[in-house]
Structure 1
C-alpha cells in the first residue's frame, strides 16, 4: 500500500477507535477499553502495519464475547444509570458500526 494511503488509513482507524474508547471510558468498561487503547498505541507508534491492524480489529466483531456482544449496563458492572446506559449503548452501536466499516475499507 502507498505510504500516504497507509497514513490516511491509520488516521481514519485511529479516529474510529478513539470514538469507541471514549464511550468505553465513560461507562467504566475496562476490558475492551484497554484492548482498544493498546491497538491505538500500535497505530501511533507504527508498530504494526495497517492491514494487520485492520484484520486484528475485524476479529473483535465475531464470536462469543466479541465487541458486538458488549452491552453497557449497571448489571454488567458499568458505572452508569439506566438512562445513561441507554444513551451510551446507542452511541456505542453507531461507533462500533463506523469502526467496522473502517476496517472493511480496501
Structure 2
C-alpha cells in the first residue's frame, strides 16, 4: 500500500471519526474506527471494510447527520456538517478504492 495515500486516508478517517463522534453517530463511528485500526496495523482488510460501507440500502452513502436522526447537532449546523461529511465520504472512498485496486490479487 502506498504510504502517502495511506497517510492521507488515515488523516481523512481521523477527521471523519471526529465528525461522527461529535454528532454521536455510533454505528458508523465503530465501523470506521475498526477500519482505521486495521490500516494502522498494516492490515489491508481495512480497505475492504471501508469499501463495504458504501452502496446498498442503509449504507454509509445514506447517512444524513441531523437532529431528527438522533444526532447531537443543532438544525443550524446540519448543512455544514453534511457538506463536510460528503467531502470526507467521497475522498475516503476514492483513496480506498484506488489503494484496493493497486493491491496484488
Same fold (TM over 0.5): yes
Deviation at 1:102, TM superposition (A): 0.7
Deviation at 1:104, TM superposition (A): 2.2
- 1:104 and 2:104 equivalent? no
Deviation at 1:23, TM superposition (A): 1.1
Q: Deviations over 1:13-63 (max 9, x none)?
A: 2122112111111211111011111111111122x22xx332221121111
Task: Report how many aligned residue pairs link the two structures.
Answer: 99
Matching residue of 1:29: 25
What do you get for the CA RMSD once the two structures are aligned? 1.5
So what's the TM-score if we normalise by structure 2? 0.83
So what's the TM-score if we normalise by structure 1? 0.82
Alpha-carbon distance in 2 for matches of 1:45, 1:54: 12
Larger displacement relative to structure 2 (79-88 or 37-46): 37-46
Matching residue of 2:7: 11
Alpha-carbon distance in 1 for matches of 2:25, 2:46: 22
Larger displacement relative to structure 2 (63-72 or 19-28): 19-28
After the TM superposition, which residues 1-106 of structure 1 pair with which residues of structure 2 at under 5 Å, given as runs?
Answer: 5=2, 7-46=3-42, 48-49=43-44, 52-105=45-98, 106=102
